[in-house]
Amino acid sequence: MIACLLDEPGPVNGTIEVSESAIENSYREFILELTHLYPGVNKDDDELFDAVIRFASVLEEIYLKIGFIVGRKLDGDLREGEEKLKNIVTAK
């Protein structure tokens, strides 16, 4: 995300590939665990896949929003701290 904002396409491509691979692996692990716990579950069931994707999408959106909120708060705090430090230095 930050690389996109800074207009650096190289790192973004690598990050996206890693993320896609991680998502695919996590889905496989999730389905394997689910079929282990519940042997009657059909791992090729498209409805199951869609439900997992919807669930993951909601979580992704929530965590993205949290990240933006935290980032904005950190940015504000850092700017405020920088301003206070400048005032201390110029007061000496």
Between 90 and 13, the more confident residue is 90
In one-letter notation, the amino acid at residue 91 is A
Q: Indicate the pTM of the whole model.
A: 0.54
Residue 69 and residue 83 in one domain: yes
What six digits make up the tokens of 27?
Answer: 């889905």
- Alpha-carbon distance 31 to 43, whole Å? 6
Are 3 and 11 within 8 A, CB to CB?
A: yes
Residue 58 and residue 92 in one domain: yes
Residue 36 and residue 67 in one domain: no
Residue 59 and residue 86 in one domain: yes
Residue 31: the pLDDT is 81
Signed CA dihedral, 83, 86, 87, 88: sign only:
positive
Residue 17: the pLDDT is 57
